[in-house]
Chain A
Amino acid sequence: MSDDVAVEARGVSKIFGASTDQEVRALDHVSVSIAQNEFFTLLGPSGCGKTTLLRLIAGFEHPTDGAILLEGKDISALPPFQRPVNTVFQNYALFPHMTVAQNIGFGLEMQGQSKDEVANTVGAMLVLVKMENLKNRRIDQISGGQQQRVALARALAPRPKVLLLDEPLSALDLKLRKEMQVELKRLQHETGITFIFVTHDQEEALTMSDRVAVMNEGRILQVGAPHEIYNRPNDRFVADFIGDTNFMPAEVIEHDESEVRIRLPSGIEITIPAPPGLPQGSEVTLAIRPEQARIVTDADAISIQGSLTDEIYIGTDTQYRVDIGMTSPFVVRVQNANGERARIPLGSRVGIAVDPRTIQILQD
C-alpha cells in the first residue's frame, strides 16, 4: 500500500512562537496521505495553515510534532535542498539576475548535471511550457503569465517526486487564470508528477483536483473527491465553505440500520437514508443544497412550508428565498428551462420539496 503513497503527514503539529505569549497553532495534529500521481488540493480560508503544511513538506519549516514521510521514508529532518520536492511560489520567486533559460536550469545545475544534460532538459521544459522563443529574456522583460510558466518549468525541470504549488494562480487575471488551470492539469498529466495545490477558491479546487482536503484553523476537516466533498460534507464548516447550503436543525426520533426518522422544527417528520450511529433524541443539523430543493405551489404534507419573500433572476437560474420561520431564509435554486421561469407571486405560501436522499445529516 505504501508504494502508492507519495507524501504522508503523520500527526503533524506546528506551533509558531512556542513558549511566548503570541503562540500560534498553525497546524493541529494533521494526518493525511497523498497518492502518487494525484492532483491533491488544500482548500481553506486565509490563515487556516495551508502554506504552513506546504512549507513543512518542502522543508522550509520543521514540525513541532509528528513526521512528514516521502514514499514511506521520514524526511522530517532533511533540509530543503536534499528533498526531491519542488515549489512554485506564490509570487514566483524567479531569480532576477538570470535569464528564463538560466532560471529553468538552476535546479538541474545544482543537482550536478552536466552542461549538455541541463541544456537538453531546459530545451524540453521550454517546449512543455511554450516559452521557446523567450528563453534568453530577462525575468523583468516577460509578462506575469509568462513568469508563471517559467516558475512552473523551473520547478518541474528536476523531475521532483512532488510539486508544491502555493496559490500559483492568484496573481493572474480571470481569463489567464482559467487558461492556466487547464495548462496545469495538462502538465500534471504529461509529467505524471504528484501535485499538491493550495487555493482558497472552492471552484478552482473542485474543477482541478482528484481529491480535496478542506482545512480550517489548522485542522483537516474532510478529504475526498470533489463530488464527495460537495454532496456529502461531513461537517458544517465544509458544507458552508463549499457552495451554498441551507442549514436546518432537527431531532432524531428513530433510527434503524439504513434510515433515520427525524423531526423538523415545524413538527413535520421525514425519513432519510443515513449511516448508523445517530442516537435517538440527538440534535442534528440538516444540510440541503439550494439546487436540490424544489418549489411546489400545491403544498403537500411532507414538504417544508413558508412564504416566498424574494425571487432573484440570475441568468441560467432563478433563486427563491422562502421564509420558513428561521433566522435565515431557505434558498431554492431552479434552473430556467428554455429561458422561461414559473412566476409565483411574492408573499404567497409555497412548499419546498426535497428528495430525502440528497439531505446530508451533520452531527454537531
Chain B
Amino acid sequence: MATSSRPFSIERMPGFSLLALTCFFALYMPLAPLVVYSFNAGDNIALWEGLSLRWYVAAWENDLVQSAAIRSVVVAVIASVVATSLATMVALGTTRTRPYRGQTSIYAMVNQPLMVPEIVTAVALLIFFALIKESTGYHGYAYLISAHTAFCIPFAYLPIRARLEGMDRVLETAAADLYATPWRSFTRVTLPLLLPGILAGAMLAFVISLDDVVITEFVKSAGQDTLPTYMLGQLRRTITPEINAISTVLLGVSVVMVTIIFFLSRKKA
C-alpha cells in the first residue's frame, strides 16, 4: 500500500507531541503557583488577595535575607572562580598532554562529586571539618567555600572538556608553525577558543553553588546561612509569600544563567 511504504516519521505520531506537552507541564506547572503567589497581597501562600509587590519589598528589607543573599553570592563567586580555574587546568591536563598512565582515572576522580551521593559527602565533610575545627579552633568561611569549590569542579569541568575535545588540535600546530611559542599559542589560540566553554563552566558552577542546600546545611557554622538554608529554616515556622518572592528571584537568576550557558555552548568554535 502507498501509506505503508512511507518512511517512519515522528511528525505523524500524534502521541509524541502529546507526551512532550505532558512532560512540559509536569515540569513547569508546579512552579506556576509559587511564582503567582509571590505577587499575593495577602499573608497566605494559598489564598489569593490581589496583586502586590509587598513580599518582594519585605524580603528586600529583611536583614537576614539580605545577609544570606550576600553570603550566597560571595560563596558562589569565589567557589565558581576557583573551581573553574582548577577545572580548566585539569581539562588541559587530560587532553593537551601526551597520553600518560592514570589519565582516565583523573577523569573519574574529577567527577567524583557527581557519583557519591551528596548526603554522604555532606556527612563526611561534617565529620572531617569537625576534626579540623577541633584542632585549629578556626570556624570561618573557608570550610563552606572549599566544600562548594569541590562539588562545583565537575560542573565547571564538563563544558570545558567538551569544548577542548571539539577543538581541532591542528590549530595549535598551525600556531607553532607560525612562530608562536607554546605559551603564546595557548594565550592567543587555545584560550580564546576555549573561553565560551570556560564561561559556561563558571556560570554552571555559580548556579550549582547558589542552589546548594544539603552540603551547606551540614558544613556551615553558626550564622553562616546561605539563601537556600535560610529558606529551609523559615519553612519550620509560619510560611509567608516572602519565601515565594525569594524563590522566584532565585528561579529567575537560574533561568537567565542557564539560558546564557545554552547559547555559549552552542557558539561555534
* CB–CB A80/B193 < 8 A: no
Residue among A60, A80, A93 making CB contact with B168, cutoff 8 Å:
A93
Chain B residues near A158: list those with CB within 8 A: 178-179
Q: How far is the CA of A22 from the CA of B30 in the complex (A)?
A: 59
B34 to chain A, nearest CB (A): 42
Q: A91 contacts which chain B residues (CB < 8 A)? A: 170
A81-B181 in contact (CB<8A): yes
> Which chain B residues numbered 178 to 224 have a C-beta less than 8 Å away from chain A?
178-181, 184-185, 188-189, 192-193
Assess whether A60 is in contact with B173, with CB atoms less than 8 Å apart. Answer: yes
A85 to B171, CA, bound (A): 16
Q: Any chain A CB within 8 A of the CB of B110? A: no
Task: Say which residue of A59, A82, A96, A106 sits within 8 Å of B175 (CB atoms).
Answer: A106
Q: Is B236 an interface residue (CB 8 A)?
A: no
Chain B residue nearest to A84 in the complex (CB): B179
- Within A43-87, the residues touching B (CB, 8 Å) are 58-60, 79-82, 85-87
Question: Are the C-beta atoms of B170 and A79 separated by less than 8 Å?
Answer: no
Contact A110 B180 (CB under 8 A): yes
B174 within 8 A of A: yes
Query: How does the 8 Å CB contact mask read for A299-321 relative to B, with 1 for contact and 0 for none?
Result: 00000000000000000000000
Decide: A111 and B174 in contact? CB cutoff 8 A.
Answer: no
Query: Residues of B contacting A154 with CB < 8 Å?
Result: 178
State the CA gap A58–B181 with chains docked (Å): 15
Q: Say yes or no: B179 contacts A89, CB within 8 Å.
A: no
A59 to B174 alpha-carbon distance, docked (Å): 11
A82 to B181, CA, bound (A): 9
Asked whether, in the complex, the Cβ of B193 is within 8 Å of the Cβ of A97, the reply is yes
* A183 lies within 8 A of chain B by Cβ: no
**Given A96-B269, A110-B184: A79 touches B176 (CB 8 Å cut-off):** yes
Interface centre among B175, B177, B181, B193 (most CB of A within 10 A): B177
Interface: A259 (CB within 8 A): no
Q: Is the CB of A81 within 8 A of B171?
A: no
Contact B192 A87 (CB under 8 A): no
Q: How far is the CB of A54 from chain B (nearest CB, A)?
A: 11
Contact size range, B: 20 to 34
Q: Are B181 and A87 in contact (CB-based, < 8 A)?
A: no
B171 adjacent to A93 (CB under 8 Å): yes
Q: What residues on B are CB-neighbors of A93 within 8 Å?
A: 168, 170-171, 173-174
Q: How far is the CA of A96 from the CA of B269 in the complex (A)?
A: 7
Q: Chain B nearest CB: distance from A47 CB in Å?
A: 19
Name the A residues within 8 Å of B180 (CB-CB): 81, 106, 110
* Distance between Cα atoms of A93 and B176 in the complex (Å): 12
B12 beta carbon closer than 8 Å to chain A: no
Q: Report A-chain residues with C-beta under 8 Å of the C-beta of B269.
A: 96
Instruction: Give chain A nearest CB distance to B263 CB in angstroms.
Output: 17
Q: Please encode chain A, from 94 to 122, with 1 for each CB lying within 8 Å of some chain B CB and 0 for all others.
A: 11110000000011001100000000000
**Nearest chain B CB to A328's CB is how many angstroms away?**
42
A254 at interface, CB cutoff 8 A: no
Q: What residue in chain B is nearest A82 (Cβ atoms)?
A: B179
Q: For chain B residues 146-177, which have a beta carbon within 8 Å of chain A?
A: 168, 170-171, 173-177
Judging by beta carbons under 8 Å apart, are B193 and A87 in contact?
Answer: no
CA distance A107 to B178 in the complex (A): 4
Chain B hits for A140, CB < 8 A: 268
Binding site for A on B (CB under 8 A): 168, 170-171, 173-181, 184-185, 188-189, 192-193, 268-269
The 9 closest A-B CB pairs, nearest first, are A107-B178, A110-B179, A93-B174, A80-B176, A93-B170, A110-B180, A81-B179, A87-B177, A97-B192
